[in-house]
Amino acid sequence: MAQKLKVVVTAGPTREFVDPVRFLSNPSTGKMGFAVARAAAAAGHAVALVAGPVALKTPKGVRRVDVVSARDMLAAVAREVAAGADVLIATAAVADWRPKRRARQKLKKGEMDGTLALVRNPDILKTVRGVRKVGFAAETRNVLKEAVRKCREKDLELIVANDVTEKGCGFGTDTNRATLVRRDGTVVRLPLLTKLALARRIVREIEI
Ligand code: PMT
């Protein structure tokens, strides 16, 4: 077997609460990230899975850390990296924005005026250093161009780009079609695969 790695995988959405009963989020189910965690553990690597709120069973042999918000996810990932992780594989759909204020009590309709002030969340993948990094790019247009830009900006060794508007791809599906873009500019277009088969392919990439 290839060298045993300590792998951190992020998965699922984050939730950014407006008040105790309302939040901003996205349709990520965690399927892609859980498949990566499962494939990495099956290949003999030590896997920490940092998961947003999802309804999936933890894969065998995987240590799971549950989080809610983007800031929780960043703190959990930073802890794993500080503890000596080798590779971070970021499949999570992290909310880029959060409400400027989180009300402690449920807001009454009369207390809302139809506007919501937002502030930027940290970019986990960009912030974290000292670990090999693999990112995903969820795109709806200019897939390759955006993937190349994110790969550079976030200093990634590999980015897995998926067009989330394509049938059988992206959020909630059991399959995905991805284009791999390596740091050296190599582009590999993969066919439609199950998320587990794609995950196995990504794990092989980090073993090189
Ligand atoms: O969970 P599923 O239902 O199986 O759906 C899978 C998926 C569509 C979520 C997955 O295949 C996918 O594309 N994940 C990346 C989603 C995303 O947020 O992409 P992005 O292009 O906005 O972000 C680029 C990269 O930066 C990603 O690796 C993301 O995890 C990371 N990021 C983004 C924003 C942020 N604040 N911090 C981050 O670390």
pLDDT bucket at 3, cuts 50 / 70 / 90: confident
Is the confidence at residue 188, as pLDDT, over 70? yes
Ligand 1 atom showing the smallest separation from residue 138 Cα: 13
Q: What is the pLDDT of residues 85-144, one digit of tens each?
A: 999 999 999 999 999 999 999 999 888 889 999 999 999 999 999 999 999 999 999 999
* Distance from C-alpha of 132 to C-alpha of 85, rounded to nearest angstrom: 9
Q: Specify the pLDDT at position 205.
A: 97
Q: Cβ(69) to ligand 1 under 6 A?
A: no
Is the confidence at residue 1, as pLDDT, over 80? no
**Best probe residue, ligand 1, of 69, 73, 125 (max atoms within 8 Å of C-beta):** 125
Structure token digits, residue 99: 């409400």
Ligand 1 atom showing the smallest separation from residue 136 Cα: 28
Q: Which residues are catalytic?
A: 26
Q: Cβ(179) to ligand 1 under 6 A?
A: no
pLDDT bucket at 208, cuts 50 / 70 / 90: confident
SS3 129: coil
Q: pTM here?
A: 0.97
Termini Cα distance of the chain: 12
Structure token digits, residue 98: 């959060």
DSSP 35-81: HHHHHHHHTT-EEEEEE-S---PPPTTEEEEE--SHHHHHHHHHHHH
**Best probe residue, ligand 1, of 28, 166, 193, 198 (max atoms within 8 Å of C-beta):** 28
Q: Specify the pLDDT at position 112.
A: 86
Q: What is the pLDDT of residues 11-64, one digit of tens each?
A: 999 999 999 999 999 999 999 999 999 999 999 999 999 999 999 999 999 999
